[in-house]
Structure 1
């Protein structure tokens, strides 16, 4: 065999085979990643010059594997698995840098203060704070532990923890506020609140911690084998939370969903995809 023939038959020079349907599915996913916000079916189809019915079949498969999701208005967006893959390659310092940049843009866009908190065994602690330039200044001290009962940050983290993890912390807060508190009744009401937070995916408060002050808290999720299990296999686990704090006029309850979507849009821009 000549050297030229050997070269032609070398594995390094062969075109490796692949799975065409997988490549097409990943092309559909790439469109959602590049666009980085919800899209209509026809928009995705136009982007890759494919019939909408065919694109829909691939989207169904991506949704089943949680790489995509369909929101209430019918548009398609990235699923939790894509976000989890994004965060898994980041160390904590890099993640905090990205979150701080996101917090700064949110502060500028909404004229509200923004805090980043991390979950510790004694509860959530503020690790970064970006203060608003507006006349009404709400200072959040780095190192402060946020209460589980009255802060949006605390409520969000509580909704993501096992009952055994938060029960003692909650009892201590309730008894500190009222030594005669009916702890069983308090817990019943609090469980209803946590269920509502879990269904929405974010937590809010209006005047619970400070009169006239509102807050919206969103999770920064990662995949963890050691996280509290809600089902089989790995679960979504939020070690960090980003919380926007402003006046009730800046963060009206009636506009919660719209503001959450605006915050998430900015977060997606700054967290690596």
Structure 2
């Protein structure tokens, strides 16, 4: 009997054939006749034609007036999307580097994925003290500035299970009273989790409204972090200097991390303004 892992490893043959046809057209770099495509794929022309019909329907291939086949508009769209993605990352790195040079602290770029906020780039400071998070790390939603900011731009039904899981894993340490009955313990922990969730939900509204988040020693003692939203696809208006439009989910965040001496909470407004000024210089048209 074939195991589930064996089934998954086999993949979908028809999809692989379709992508291979696109590879042939990409490598050829010019329109091809049906017989030549079939020859390259070592496939009967009649069978090849069926694949081409499907690719044409999805606009990955187009048939020209002379009967030859060329790459369709969806391939161009994929190519452009890849270029745009690379350009966005280049711009994000420039913003993060400028913030690092301005505040002399480590900076991280994060993005929201299905499992939560993930660090996709870390810029180390040019100082002996380097506080940075490893690329690929999932940032906690409750105790990190990055997590709080990105969570504030997500639907509540998306983040609530993730937040409750985090609270559940830490609630035992926060509830220090020992009860005689186990049922009382469970009930008290449930009440405490619900109370913390309500407080967290309220904080999300505040973060979204002000357009930034900050934590002071919540994740690591003596370490402060300030996070701002970055949306490279839209420019910020003067009237919206601190917040991205409420009508869309946030793409990325940039967070500066340093000691309490490097990033004192008393200078929060100045730090945030510096970060926003740098980011807006890149995303304004």
Q: TM-score range by the shorter chain?
A: 0.5 to 0.7
3-state SS of the aligned residue for 2:227?
Answer: strand
Displacement of 1:144:
0.2
User: Which residue does the alignment assign to 2:226?
Assistant: 216
Quote the RMSD (CA, aligned, Å): 2.4
Contact 1:223 1:237 in 2 (8 A): no
TM-score, with length taken from structure 2: 0.58
Contact 1:222 1:238 in 2 (8 A): no
TM-score, with length taken from structure 1: 0.61
User: Which residue does the alignment assign to 1:117?
Assistant: 110
Displacement of 1:236:
3.2
Q: Deviations over 1:162-202 (max 9, x none)?
A: 11000100011011112535221111111221122122110
Structure 1: 5+ residue stretches without partners: 1-87, 225-232
Aligned counterparts of 1:252 and 1:234: Cα–Cα separation in 2: 29
User: Which residue does the alignment assign to 2:157?
Assistant: 164
- 2:188 is the alignment partner of 1:195: no
1:149 to 120, 142, 149: 142
- 2:263 is the alignment partner of 1:251: yes
Aligned counterparts of 1:94 and 1:129: Cα–Cα separation in 2: 17
User: Which residue does the alignment assign to 1:136?
Assistant: 129
3-state SS of the aligned residue for 1:236?
Answer: coil
Displacement of 1:235:
1.7
- Larger of the two Rg values belongs to structure: 2
Structure 2: 5+ residue stretches without partners: 1-80, 173-188, 235-244
Q: Deviations over 1:97-120 (max 9, x none)?
A: 011011111111110100000100
Alignment of 1:9-158 (within 5 A): 91-158=84-151
